[in-house]
Amino acid sequence: MKPVKVGLMGMGTVGTGVIRLVEGYQEDLQKQVGSPILIERVLVQDRSKARRYNIESEKLTDNAWDIINDPEIDVVVEVMGGIETTKEFILAALERGKHVVTANKDLMALHGTEILAKAAQKSCDVYYEASVGGGIPIIRTLIEGFSSDRITKIMGIVNGTTNYILTKMSQEGASYEEVLKEAQQLGYAEADPTSDVEGLDAARKMAILGTLGFRANMELADVQVKGISRVSKEDILYGQRLGYEIKLLGIAERQDDLISISVQPTMIKKTHPLATVNGVFNAVYVHGEAVGETMFYGRGAGEMPTATSVVADLVAVVKNLKLGVNGQRVFVPYKEKKLKTDEQIASKYYILLHVADKAGVLAKITQVFAEHEVSLESVVQQPNATHADAEIIIITHDANKASMGKVLASFESLDVIYEIKSVYRVEG
């Protein structure tokens, strides 16, 4: 049995996990694919560095072209990260007829269409299950499991760092700043947490999921993004009193072929399954016209969960290789992209206002809603804990985004409103 040889780009956390699985589960892998799978070369930054997992020094290289130009290597597994240089390496590997497995969400969100087109041209496979949701098999599910259905909504917690922060704020009453510092000390958040806490990481993942779910080329620029850095203890507390948890949700919706995608802190009913997803766990809720509601849950990061998805993709590539069908399952978006306007994007809203505590204030506020045809589900007024004024919490019925923008603009010029403290979408 001729072995299938793999070039591994990157031997960090995930790369080490890939080697552990391939070498540790070799018998199982051979039974599945009919031949050995060998890690032939490994790209590292420093060949002399001490490593957590022993590997023959002759397999290590600090030159990516040693892998790309090696005619013996059948599959390139990329887990080193980066965008432009990594894109060059992957396109070069495809040009030479090598199949590619990647865990790189940034690369696939920004350049996935170009990479998949090159793969189709060269009859090569490109698999990227680990780019979204770590060990959750959501990408393969969207492509294959929902191939006979029409997806209308994808809603997910797809960033573990922000979910950890919001969970700690909810369960312990801590402030955002306190929990972020703790998350950095534990290694859950980077020294510069911007990509996570401002929603950029989640936005890249939602662009990928939206492309797969709706069969149209959704780009990062199509995702409306708002992060969690302004979520306060008061927001968490008031939400809980009303029966909600706050989660950073990626929300992709399609109605009559019109699409919207966003990432934003969202008030979600405690009875919804996503409200109970805590800590660093991820979950993706998918609604199909035929199947109805489904949800996929698991660890969204980490050495072995992510490596499991990478190796599962590797197995799929090798199976295709044995069957001679590589490149025939490359997913290329084929539907025209039609984005919803703000007038077509509708949801409920939670609004927290700091207002003057005097007669007639509520009447002025409700008049503004009436002028813009936004109806209200509930209104709660209570004293402010730190000022001799009041706070009003409002939950609207479904309202389009354009109308809500006009309401908020009107509030800015209303003298009885001192501050628009929070505005969140409401789900569930």
- Whole-angstrom CA distances from 230 to 176, 233, 301 are 8, 10, 25
From 87, 122, 205, 421, the catalytic residue: 205
234-249 tens-digit pLDDT = 999 999 999 999 999 9
| Enclosing H/E stretch for 41 | strand 37-43
What is the Cα–Cα distance from 297 to 157, expressed in whole angstroms?
A: 9
Local structure of residue 144 (DSSP, 8 states):
I
Please tell me the predicted confidence (pLDDT) of residue 12: 93
CA end-to-end distance (rounded Å), the chain: 53
Quick one: pLDDT at residue 388?
66
Pair 124, 94: CB distance under 8 Å: yes
Residue 386 pLDDT grade (very low, low, confident, very high; cuts 50, 70, 90): low
pLDDT digits (tens, 9 = 90+) for 56-67: 999 999 999 999
pLDDT beyond 70 at 384: no
DSSP 3: P
Domains with residue ranges and CATH for the chain: 4-134+303-323 (3.40.50.720), 138-299 (3.30.360.10), 346-427 (3.30.70.260)
- 118 versus 358: which is more confidently predicted? 118
Torsion over CA: 366, 372, 375, 381 (sign): negative
DSSP state of 335: B
Mean per-residue pLDDT for 105-129?
95
- Longest CA–CA span in the chain (Å) reads 85
pLDDT tens digits, one per residue of 347-371? 999 999 999 988 899 999 999 999 9
- Radius of gyration for the alpha carbons in the chain, expressed in angstroms and rounded: 24
- Residue 383's pLDDT is what? 74
Q: How many CA atoms lie within 13 A of 38 on its CB side?
A: 14
What would the pLDDT profile of 5-58 be if each residue is shown by its tens digit? 999 999 999 999 999 999 999 999 999 999 999 999 999 999 988 888 889 999
Please confirm, yes or no, whether 98 is among the known catalytic residues.
no
pTM of the model: 0.93
The fraction of the chain above a pLDDT of 90, given in percent, is 89
| Helices marked H in 122-187 | 138-140, 160-172, 176-186
